[in-house]
Amino acid sequence: MFNHIVCRYNEIATKSGNRAMFERRLIDNMRAACSDLDTKLRFNRIRGRIVIYRDENNEFTQEEKIAITQRLERCFGLDSFSFCLEGERSMEAVEEMIRKTVPAMFAPFLEKNGVVHFRTRARRADKRFPGTSKDIEIAAATIVENIMGEGKVKVNLDHPDVSIGIEIRENNSILYYDSIPAPGGLPVGSNAPMLALLSGGIDSPVACQMAMKRGCHVDFLTFHSYPYTPRGTVEKVQRLADIINLYQTPRGILYACNISEIQKLIRDNCDPRYRTVLYRRIMMRLASKLCTDKKRYAIVTGESIGQVASQTVENMSVIEKASDYLIVRPLCGFDKNETIRRAEAMGTFETSIEPMPDSCTVFAPDSPVLRAKLHTVEYEESKIPDLENAIQQAYDTMEIY
């Protein structure tokens, strides 16, 4: 029944000067997300909306609807979308579209309940069209009642089984039923790219998603301690990166860096209570090097205040001083349950909870320092012989996936 898709955006609409850039970026991303489908799609920008046409204006099949929905649901910047019919700019055309679709759309509810609760929602994008939106809604509801017959349908504004949307535009009118929610935010690529510190845990994949939601493409850096952590540690992070990459094109690159040699130096030379903070500072230094080389403008982490010993405000301050880059911590104000809900919705949760040793726990002390002081940490660091060389060595042997 439906031969095109109306896509709505929200935050982009508030951009004045560079709105066209955001719209083009969103279209590029939607096109890329659907590029693996056989269906050829055309994308048009039409005053405040993006419209997707199927080639030759044929109707979408059910399989195509499902496949396209799956892809558009992951496009940041998009607020919602609807599969629609298109007609001329007249009430006659609207009536025709209602006639064509209402019986089939109402049938399941009629069968189940004997009556269908429905509402009509109209929007006059073209204000020259006669009557108010309310007038159009009432006229459309009357058409529905006439088609379906008295007693079979009932207007219900608050809890309808079926909602019929009508838009009157400059050159045409459209009719749709479902408005499918999309993630909102800004299109990936509309802001500067970042480097995410990706562990195998629950938090960092969610942090990546939130950076992408603000328009930042992310590459990933994971640290491992092979042979003190198994190969599976990196393999698990790889699977997480695959899921996160469903939300951005081009795919983010995964870099894997072995820090076991540096960890041994820390174990052998420093106060054990400082190990975790020292590891984290090394991670920041390696991440900063990669940012400089690959032109990434910030480091994203899954840290949340007070969650574990390394995440006290004091320790986080000392850790971030190891880098000159902006450190972005999107989960800072979340409690664990909020993060878990997002991980479940994104599809990373199941993978994240698979048990696997993390690099941070290698030689981890029984009682780590909770409120590290910068000068003490710098003193501990100064006890490590040839640290710069060890960092460079780890950096140079980094693997790319």
Q: Which residues bind ligand ATP (CB under 6 A)?
A: 197-199, 201-204, 222-223, 301-303, 307-308, 310-311, 358-360
Q: Which listed range, 138-146, 194-202, 277-285, 377-385, lies at the site for Mg ion (CB under 5 A)?
A: 194-202
Residue 238 beta carbon to ligand ATP: minimum distance, rounded to whole angstroms: 12
Residue 301 binds which of Mg ion, ligand ATP, none (CB < 5-8 A, kind-dependent):
ligand ATP
- The least CB distance from residue 185 to ligand ATP, in Å, is 20
Contact between residue 237 and residue 258 where contact means Cβ atoms under 8 Å apart: no
Those residues with Cβ within 8 angstroms of residue 321's Cβ, 6 or more apart along the chain or in another chain:
281, 374
Q: Residue 73: left if φ>0, alpha if ψ -120 to 50, beta else—which one?
A: alpha
Is there binding between residue 205 and Mg ion (CB under 5 A)?
no
Residue 359 binding target from ligand ATP, Mg ion, none, CB below 5 to 8 Å by type: ligand ATP
Nearest to 9 by CA among 65, 51, 50, 53: 50
- Which of 102, 93, 89, 168 shows the shortest CA–CA distance to 136? 168
Residue 198 interaction partner, one of Mg ion, ligand ATP, none, beta carbon < 5-8 Å per kind: ligand ATP
Q: How far is the CB of 266 from ligand ATP (least distance, A)?
A: 15
Residue nearest to ligand ATP (CB): 201
Least distance to Mg ion from the beta carbon of 358, Å? 5
For 382, residues 6+ apart whose C-beta sits below 8 A from its C-beta are none
- Min CB(359)–ligand ATP separation in Å: 4
Given 201, 205, 252, 330, the residue binding Mg ion (CB under 5 A): 201
Q: Would you count residue 199 as binding Mg ion (CB under 5 A)? A: yes
Q: Which is nearer to ligand ATP, 154 or 231 (CB)?
A: 231
Dihedral sign (CA 26, 27, 29, 33) = positive
174 versus 254: smaller Cβ distance to ligand ATP = 254
In the list Mg ion, ligand ATP, none, the entry touching 303 (Cβ below 5 to 8 angstroms by class) is: ligand ATP
Of 199 and 312, the one with the shorter C-beta distance to Mg ion is 199
Q: Between vectors from CA 157 to CA 152 and to CA 163, what angle results, nearest 5°? A: 70
User: Which tokens belong to 174?
Assistant: 């459209």
Contact stretch for Mg ion (CB under 5 A) within 37-45, 186-194, 197-205, 370-378: 197-205
- The C-alpha atoms of residue 271 and residue 278 are separated, in whole angstroms, by 10
By CB under 5 A, residue 351 contacts Mg ion: no
Nearest Cα to 196, choosing from 164, 223, 178, 170?
223
Size of the site for Mg ion (CB under 5 A): 2
Pairing of strands 162-168, 180-181: unpaired
CA 259, 386, 319, 315 torsion: positive or negative? positive
Task: From the list Mg ion, ligand ATP, none, pick the one residue 307 interacts with, judged by a Cβ distance below 5 to 8 Å according to partner type.
Answer: ligand ATP
Task: Tell the residue number behind the tokens 């109306």, with chain if given.
Answer: 6
Helix (H) or strand (E) holding 176: strand 173-176
Minimal distance, residue 357 CB to ligand ATP, in Å:
10
Q: Which residues bind Mg ion (CB under 5 A)?
A: 199, 201
